[in-house]
Amino acid sequence: MDDQFPHVFSPLRIGGFDVRNRLVALPAGTSLVEHGIPTHGDVEHFERLAAGGVGLVVAGAMVVHPTSALRSGKLVEAYLDAVVPAMAAKADVVHRHGARLVGQLCHLGREFIGGESDHAPVAPSAIKTVRDAYPPHVLTHREIDDIVEGWRVSTTHLVEAGLDGVEIHAAHGYLPAQFMSPLTNRRTDSFGGSFENRMRFLHLVIEAMREVAPAGFALGVRLSGEEEVPGGMGIEDCVRIAEDLAALGTVDYFSITHGTRGKYVKDSTGPDAVAVPSASRVRAATGLPTIVGQRIRDVGTAEHVIKAGHADLVGMARALIADPDLPTKSQSGRLDEIRGCLGINQDCRAFDPHLHCAVNAEVGRGRLPGAGVQVDRPKEIYVIGGGPGGLEAARVAAERGHRVTLFERETVLGGAVRVAAASPHRATLIDIVDYLDRETRRLKVDVNLGATISVEDLEEIAGIADHVVIATGSSAGVLPHALASRGAVSVDDVLTGPVGQREPGHAVVYDEGDGFWPAYSAAEALAQRGWQVSFATGLTALAPRVPAESVGPLLQRLGDAGVALHVAHRLLVPDDAAGAVVLQPLFGGADVPVAADLLVWHQPRTVDDVLVRAIAPGATTTAIGDCVTPRRISHAIAEGYRLGATV
């Protein structure tokens, strides 16, 4: 099957080593770190990536100096002597599976990626970020020398650990980029002003690292082709920087990305492969091997990028978290078996307390002993409900050799995910349903659509099955009478019903207190259809439960569409149909009358738990997912996985 992707699955030489193919696991930290040292769980994660078939693994960013360490100790601190054995273990397992390992070294400068530090933020100039509370301390020459020494010491440790190379994180607005950009560097000494002066810090870092790196030890540099902030560096700056570094003769490759902190992890609302044109420019200008990543989710895209000469290697981060076996499955032609990344940043970016994945329950939890292991005595497993939880339970149980029968009352699979996938820019959510549908078919699960199971049916099934899984999900909550009498509707009615197709007028969308996607998606959908929309919430912040990298783009789209946003308001709807509907400030101020042609009220979904309440004492029956209480995709998947692996 190599013929399908001949460019991707061809070797390449970087620095002093060869990689078996052109796929790269991009740096993505796990936070499975204690006191700055990787744990066994972190090593296992990187072993899983290597075993899945990538050619090159770039370890998540490791800080080079105490001034860039977090109080939590959740970032690897490469300057510590104790990091060497842990990184050696990581190199050993990656090499054992035929991949190469490069360590990425970083200093965050004025950024602290959402964590507290016991040190002041530092930067070339005292310019505060919009994300952090404090302006940075201006680095002195002595402090700059000390940080450069941190890069030297950290590189020495990676060499001692047996890694194949090192990558300087000079992208995403971190310290090297803060020196290079006129936006963040206002110095008037030898480290500021001219282009040559602004490059001085990175030159010193590279020189220090090369002094301790043996021959053949690769050195790469990651750059942002577009910083995507007003006044920030763009592709012309990136190309000029890359040409300058290539002229040193000591850099072996470039890795090209877009964005700065809060903007570089692109969610499903943006286009795929956004950094490819920038990587193409850098590769053409320098002639050095170039990696490109950022929302590239499949090997077909990677093949096109390499074949067209835009890059030499293609990196993935979240796609390989969702399915580490993506390379092997692609190379062997098993494309339908790949579990795709949804691009929702929901669990992989929460770090609660470390890396997880909405669709891959093993990430951050490890593989349960029973998963994938054939059972000696197959059981009859009946699953009631074809949402993500029920489908995952069916998949994992069937993979172990159990005989699985699934019933879904609707004529399509997916449950509440199908509603969410109807939201603007959120269509990729249905990918997990499509994957699980394909897998249940491959594993010969008996899927019955349009099959409603009653309490009486459950009693009959319980007498046949060895284990019954109830995964009946949830429904939109029933609206109070005062709302229903005024024609108010739910988010579901807007996204999947005919409501939004009416002649546009003024719509008020009220989020009772969720703070997640549904109400915001309804507001955006109505605005796209020409409605004038007012959005209100009783919460004191906008979209507080939407992943951090998605909030900015979401609010920008709502603002561009003219949606009026009201926080800390309650929507009062009197029982008297003639009474005025008003928005009432929670903390004082005048009521705002609402003259709405459409009221959309979002409240928590309601459990479909009729069968759950009918479970007989002692029955071998388990309820999972939203029928227990409505939550997220990740909860349903994790519970389905756990049930399927242990039943």
- Tens digits of residue pLDDT in 315-341: 999 999 999 999 999 999 999 999 999
Domain boundary among 302, 337, 372: 337
Could you tell me if 503 and 438 lie in one domain? Answer: no
Q: Is residue 620 part of a domain?
A: yes
Position 112 scores a pLDDT of: 83
Q: First and final CA of the chain: distance in angstroms?
A: 36
Tell me what percent of the residues of the chain surpass a pLDDT of 90.
Answer: 89
Could you tell me if 257 and 386 lie in one domain? Answer: no
Distances in Å between the Cα of 602 and the Cα atoms of 27, 490, 535, 546 are: 38, 6, 11, 15
Q: Is residue 365 part of a domain?
A: no
Looking at per-residue pLDDT, the higher value among 592 and 274 belongs to: 274
Q: Residue 13: exposed, middle, or buried by beta-carbon count in 10 A (0-12, 13-18, 19+)?
A: exposed
> For 478-547, where are the alpha helices, taking DSSP H only?
481-484, 491-496, 517-528
Helices (H) and strands (E) in the chain, counts: 21, 29
* Domain total in the chain: 3
Distances in Å between the Cα of 566 and the Cα atoms of 26, 530, 540, 569, 593 are: 39, 20, 9, 7, 13
Q: Is residue 599 part of a domain?
A: yes
Could you tell me if 452 and 515 lie in one domain? Answer: no
**Per-residue b/e over 551-581, b at no fewer than 16 CB within 10 Å?**
bebbbebbeebebebbbbbbbebeeeeeeeb
Could you tell me if 515 and 548 lie in one domain? Answer: yes
Domain boundary among 274, 306, 337: 337
Q: How confident is the model at residue 614 (pLDDT cuts 50, 70, 90)?
A: very high
Mean pLDDT of 433-444: 98
Q: Is residue 346 part of a domain?
A: no
Residue 500, pLDDT above cutoff 60? yes
Could you tell me if 79 and 213 lie in one domain? Answer: yes
Could you tell me if 255 and 140 lie in one domain? Answer: yes
Could you tell me if 181 and 317 lie in one domain? Answer: yes
Q: Is residue 269 part of a domain?
A: yes
Could you tell me if 527 and 400 lie in one domain? Answer: no
Distances in Å between the Cα of 100 and the Cα atoms of 25, 42, 93, 220 are: 10, 17, 10, 14
Position 269 scores a pLDDT of: 85
Domain that holds residue 155: 2-337
Position 574 scores a pLDDT of: 84
71-84 per-position pLDDT tens digit: 999 999 999 999 99
631-641 per-position pLDDT tens digit: 999 999 999 99
Position 132 scores a pLDDT of: 83
Strand partners, 606: 475
Could you tell me if 430 and 498 lie in one domain? Answer: no
Could you tell me if 269 and 396 lie in one domain? Answer: no
Mean pLDDT of 28-46: 96
Residue 547, pLDDT above cutoff 70? yes
CA distance 270 to 267: 6
Mean pLDDT of 257-274: 90
548-582 per-position pLDDT tens digit: 999 999 999 999 999 999 999 999 988 877 778 89
Residue 131, pLDDT above cutoff 90? no
364-423 per-position pLDDT tens digit: 999 999 999 999 999 999 999 999 999 999 999 999 999 999 999 999 999 999 999 999
CATH of the domain at 541: 3.50.50.60
Q: Is residue 444 part of a domain?
A: yes
Could you tell me if 8 and 78 lie in one domain? Answer: yes
Mean pLDDT of 53-74: 96
CA distance 125 to 136: 7
584-613 per-position pLDDT tens digit: 999 999 998 888 899 999 999 999 999 999
Mean pLDDT of 608-636: 96
Q: Is residue 549 part of a domain?
A: yes
- Going by C-alpha positions, the residue among 486, 549, 5 that lies closest to residue 260 is 549
CA distance 532 to 119: 48
Could you tell me if 499 and 446 lie in one domain? Answer: no
CATH of the domain at 432: 3.40.50.720
Tokens 């956004």 -> residue: 274
Position 87 scores a pLDDT of: 98
CA distance 397 to 387: 16
Domain boundary among 337, 371, 392: 337
CA distance 485 to 576: 10
Contact 134, 119 (CB under 8 A): no
Q: Is residue 466 part of a domain?
A: yes
CA distance 332 to 347: 29
Distances in Å between the Cα of 615 and the Cα atoms of 463, 619, 623 are: 12, 7, 9
CATH of the domain at 222: 3.20.20.70
